[in-house]
Amino acid sequence: MVADISYLQQTQQQIAQLDDLLALQRQAFRANPMPSAGQRIQWLKSLAGVLVSERDRLVAAISADFGNRAADETLFAEIMPALHGIQYASKRLKKWMKPSRRAVSMLFMPASAKVVYQPLGVVGVIVPWNYPLFLAISPMVAALAAGNRVMVKMSESTPATAQALKEILAKVFPEDLVAVVEGEVDVGVAFSRLPFDHLLFTGATSIGKHVMRAAAENLVPVTLELGGKSPAIISADVPMKDAAERIAFGKSLNSGQTCVAPDYVLVPRRRVDEFISAYREVVQRFYPTVEGNPDYTTIINDRQASRLDGYLKDAEAQGARIVPVLPQAQGRRMPQALLLDVHDGMKIMQEEIFGPLLPVLPYDGLDEALAYINERPRPLALYYFGYDKREQEHVLAHTHSGGVCLNDTLLHVAQDDMPFGGVGPSGMGHYHGHEGFLTFSKGKGVFSKPRFNSARPVYPPYGKAIQKLVYKLFIR
């Protein structure tokens, strides 16, 4: 009972502090509403410097939250792309900030028009647990590059990472510029209700609906990076070793706890056994052992492990065949498995898997595979394996997804010069690179006239000869 009261008091205190933090950042923004390129670049350099100097602490904190997260996965999938994003933005920021000249019709000459990119103000970022560092830093980079202040709400499932990041960022940023917010679900709910100038949420589609509803109360524009069931399609003639290896990497990274991980794979019916054999061989090469292997990332917590185990049991009870890929292990080291004979009535085919389980669906023709995808909610990513250019273009033209990899998985997310974002149930809006700068900027149109007023002839009273001439010249 005492513990419950203490938790409630702490949560109430954290929620009360949110308004103070937002007011602090708003005041700082009003004092400096258009930071110079030099100042923004310095912010980014400071961020890069502290990520490099504190990388070992961050790797350890993330691993502690997971139970075990392969250090190389944190370096490869979190720290390295965060640093590349900083470098990319820093080199191009001055160009992005330049006003964009726009055309003016002859009807309105002499005049000039331009678009000025202005910071929005205070940006809120809600971070999921699966990549707690990169999914905090990447939107932060875009928001800082655009000249904003940033408040970041970390996931309650990664408390060690949240504490480490809060302390690390405090070394280079005052709270009126960058603030990291810790706390449980109630704090996150209160955070989503704050009147930010923009709110970015990364997480489950079901939670995204609540976030969007909360933001709507204050008409806060939102960017939603959600998930969904991202398919992989294997063509009739692609070398199976190529496809299986790249799909296995995409499914193995972070034990499949990735929003763009392949969620199911469509395989030509005659090649299903070939895929199973090649996939098992690759994964067993990746992980000769599971138990005690530091390279094998565990499921984040017992709740997520129980959810995945429930998917397996539900599928098996409804007739699915489970094909183990790795030997059983203790605790949350869930070994990979393929699932055959699945159907839409199974939970594993209804929800995003977010784990090392991969359903395999046979198909008899490419258009049948595309129809299967198109009959379902639009995914965050789509993967096609085949080297025929015409087939590649056919797939691109006849599917919708947030992003696409041809003959690979995941790596489109790491391309700084491409926007990242979903479509429909898998999200709305973009960030990364220039698109991130634009997302967190207001493109303000500015129309400028000299002293000479060329519009005077069209002022009332109407019916004058000059007005009739204007209509004759421009309405046709």
Residues with catalytic function = 225
Chain centroid to CA 276: 30
| Locus of tokens 């949240």 | 162
Cα dist. 286→72, 262, 414 in Å?
13, 17, 22
Cα dist. 298→126, 306, 333, 356, 468 in Å?
23, 13, 5, 10, 76
CB burial string 65-90: b at 16+ within 10 A, e below: bbbbbbbebbeebbbebbbebbebbb
Given phi > 0 = left and psi -120 to 50 = alpha, else beta, which region is 407? Answer: left
Q: What interhelical angle do 185-192 and 2-31 show, nearest 10?
A: 30
Yes or no: say if 329 and 291 are a contact pair by the CB < 8 Å rule. Answer: yes
Nearest C-alpha neighbor of 297 from the set 349, 266, 333: 333
Cα dist. 431→239, 436, 467 in Å?
34, 4, 46
373, with CB counted inside 10 A (0-12, 13-18, 19+), is buried
Helix (H) or strand (E) holding 139: helix 134-145
Task: Please report the DSSP string for 52-68 in residue order.
Answer: HHTHHHHHHHHHHHHS-
- Return all residues near 451 (Cβ < 8 A) that are at least 6 apart: none
CA angle, residues 163, 164, 169, in degrees to nearest 5:
105
Task: Give the chain's end-to-end CA distance (angstroms, integer).
Answer: 79
Chain centroid to CA 367: 29
State how far the Cα of 228 lies from the Cα of 201, in Å rounded to an integer. Answer: 15
State how far the Cα of 151 lies from the Cα of 71, in Å rounded to an integer. Answer: 27
State how far the Cα of 304 lies from the Cα of 283, in Å rounded to an integer. Answer: 22
Question: For residue 359, what are its two tokens?
Answer: 């359903």
3-state helix/strand/coil string of 310-351: HHHHHHHHCCCEEEECCCCCCCCCCCCEEEECCCCCCHHHCC
